[in-house]
Amino acid sequence: MFITPTGEKVFVIDGHTHFWDGSPANQLNIHGRQFIDCFYAYHTSLSPPDKLWPKEQFEKYTAEQMYHDLFVDGPDDMAIVQSTYLTEFYRNGFNTIDRNAEMAKKYQDRFIVNGAFDPRDGERALEYIHYMKETFGIKGVKLYTAEWKGESRGWKLTDANAYRCFELCQKLGITNIHVHKGPTIIPLDKDAFDVHDVDHAATDFQGLNFIIEHCGLPRLDDFCWIAVQETNVYGGLAVALPFIHGRPRYFAEVISELLFWLGPDKLLFGSDYAIWTPRWLVEKFWNFELPEDLKKEHGVDLSREAKEKILGLNAARLYGIDVEAQKAKLASYVHATAAE
Amino acid sequence: MATFLEHDRRTGEVWDRLALVTDPELDEPVTRLGFVELVTVDDQGGVDIVFRLPTYWCSANFAFLMADDMRRSVMVLPWVRHVRPRLQDHMVADEINRGVAAGSSFREAMKDFAPGETLEELREKFRRKAFERRQEVMILALRNAGYDDVSICLMNLESYDRSDFGEGEGAYQKPRYREILVERGLASLPGDRAFVTWSGDPIEPRELAPHLRRLRTVRINMEFNSALCRGLLGARYLERDGRSAELTRTGTRECVACPGAGCGQRQPAGALAGAADEGAGMFT
């Protein structure tokens, strides 16, 4: 729960978090080391100096630390924890659904655990989707189209085997498809930031929501154009939001564009934990005002209502969370803990 | 044997040629971005260029383009016989270095990875983005100087050349915008319009505002990449050099020991932050 400076309570769902193991013991090769090093560079280059973590802690942190950073020190009420396999880089994977679910079950009603699949696995991908639904009851997945696999250097949402997976997701009620379209790993030959495949998939699967993580930011122009035409396309603010600290004017320009093209109902807050911790992000976001010239030029405002939607209400709608009931439930746990 | 001074002069010429090579995605010179770490010349007309990128994962296609552009740009110098760009700390550094040295195409150089296409289309796409970004700077500079939309849309190349675009970004981009106009045949005669679309159509005054809105998103993308790349490069090499991240905020621009283009040594890592601060006016 985020308490504003004027005392109002704001319900926060952190739309993008990770519980990873990037430690040397889990690294299979130099790619594993370089991958976590790259994340750490994101962390050090965009965090305020007093929020920096030591490298070792960043490589691997405990469930207790994560719970504390998100829900005790941090303002989150709930968090969506995404799964990323990267099994060619990490012995036990980077953050598999099994690892995430194991962590999440310790903290009732706090986490929404999302799965992941790779359409290039063909039949096995379909079986795996069934397995994740039956075992973990997932409502969403995170997809990484730039991931290497054997000879393949990436895939598209429009591939035939991806469409088979989406058909199954739609049928099973796995409705939230988070797609990493942003700064990416290993874009080899083609323009791996390209977002045009989202356009076709979103048109063809009206029963699914496509949440484009990092707003396709290196291709914000293309993304906005697609999102304005497709009612089921959303933007995740992870990576865009930390600019609020170092380059507030730039953040204002980005959020103005997004508000103009997508509107406040289509944007989701995400800290990208543990790259960044949510507390400072939410505090700065809540206190942020759009400069007058941008408000006037775009005809948009980052109002209180817009902020509440972005911080939690939009994600609650996508994941079927009854906010009032959830608040009451979480409050009862807090009271129960206090009474012990 | 060439004297030390001669080496120094030649090294300076190489740096000047490298300053003409841009990161296609950011439309900024590789030297300004801090990508070039070291330049050395030998007595046989050989040039070695060591460069590195913000992450191990940076697009191989752009890395290849930059290495190849460096080789081509430096080869223009009359005394140069061999140019050996060497990319460091990158997942496909070996393939790129071998391919560029052999003058291979990207597809040949990366054949073990089976890339599906050539880079020409990509190069074209980013040349367009560079054109649009530069054009936005010029149009906004004219608006700031009090020109109305009609005068801007009707301005010809002759008056473009005579106009004062002020200090800073406007002055910097003026020749760079003109360069693409001429290169693409969008304008070449004094009477040709200076502000046209990428496909060469005139921009009507009533279309200027929506046109600018589109150009702005191009700039926002480039600024995102640029800020991210500088931050990541700084963080990556500061860590390796055993310095704290705080240094990125206090570094100086020039190599203290030997300022100027003739310096073949890597600039202190803080130089990156200096370069980023230079661009900060665009962001904050």
Delineate the domains of chain B, giving CATH numbers in brackets.
Answer: 4-118+225-283 (3.30.300.130), 122-219 (no CATH)
Most confident of A91-95, B103-107, B167-171, B226-230: A91-95
> b/e map of A136-157 (b: 16 or more CB within 10 Å)?
bebbbbbbbbbbbeeeebbbeb
Q: Which uninterrupted H or E stretch holds A209?
A: strand A209-213
How many Å is the Cα radius of gyration of chain B?
20
> Which residue's entry shows tokens 């990267």?
A86
pLDDT tier for residue A337 given thresholds of 50, 70 and 90: low
Tokens for B267?
A: 């600039």
Instruction: Give the least confident one: A143-147, A183-187, A230-234.
Output: A183-187
CB-based contact A245:A284 (threshold 8 Å):
yes
Residue A250 touches chain B, beta carbons under 8 Å: yes
Q: What pLDDT was estimated at residue B196?
A: 98
Q: Cα separation of B24 and B66, whole Å?
A: 8
Q: What pLDDT was estimated at residue B193?
A: 97
Q: What pLDDT was estimated at residue A159?
A: 95
Record: contact A186-B283, CB cut-off 8 A: no
Q: What is the mean pLDDT of residues B188-217?
A: 95
Q: What pLDDT was estimated at residue B243?
A: 43
Is the backbone peptide bond immediately before A274 cis, with ω within 30 degrees of 0? yes
CA-CA-CA-CA torsion for B191, B192, B193, B199, nearest 10 degrees?
Answer: 170
In percent, the amount of chain A with pLDDT more than 90 equals: 76
Q: How many CB atoms lie within 10 A of CB A197?
A: 18
For residue B271, the one-letter residue type is A
Q: How far is CA B78 from CA A231, B14, B72, B81, in A?
A: 59, 11, 12, 8
pLDDT tens digits, one per residue of B118-160: 678 778 888 999 999 999 999 999 999 999 999 999 999 999 9
Measure CA A30 to chain center: 26
pLDDT tier for residue B114 given thresholds of 50, 70 and 90: low
* Closest CB to A34 among B57, B106, B246: B57
Interface probe with A: pick from B56, B107, B132, most Cβ of A within 10 Å: B56
Tokens for A44?
A: 């050090």
Instruction: Give the least confident one: A234-238, A263-267, A331-335, B125-129.
Output: A331-335
Residue B38 touches chain A, beta carbons under 8 Å: no
Q: Cα separation of A203 and A249, whole Å?
A: 34
Q: Cα separation of A179 and A201, whole Å?
A: 11
Interface of B with A in 58-97 (CB under 8 A): 59-61, 91-92
Give the single-character DSSP code of A47. S
Question: First and final CA of chain A: distance in angstroms?
Answer: 21
Q: Cα separation of B231 and B248, whole Å?
A: 8
Complex ipTM value: 0.79
Chain A residues within an 8 Å CB radius of B113: 153, 188-189
Interface probe with A: pick from B220, B233, B248, most Cβ of A within 10 Å: B220
Q: Taking 80 as the threshold, does the pLDDT of residue B236 lie above it?
A: yes
CB-based contact A113:A101 (threshold 8 Å):
yes
Residue B217 touches chain A, beta carbons under 8 Å: yes
* Closest CB to B110 among A52, A189, A253: A189
* Closest CB to B228 among A31, A183, A248: A183
Q: What is the mean pLDDT of residues B215-230?
A: 87
Interface probe with A: pick from B127, B211, B283, most Cβ of A within 10 Å: B283
* Closest CB to A247 among B217, B235, B284: B284
pLDDT tier for residue A76 given thresholds of 50, 70 and 90: very high
Better pLDDT: A188 or A75: A75
Q: How far is CA B277 from CA B22, B44, B241, B257, B282, in A?
A: 19, 39, 21, 21, 10
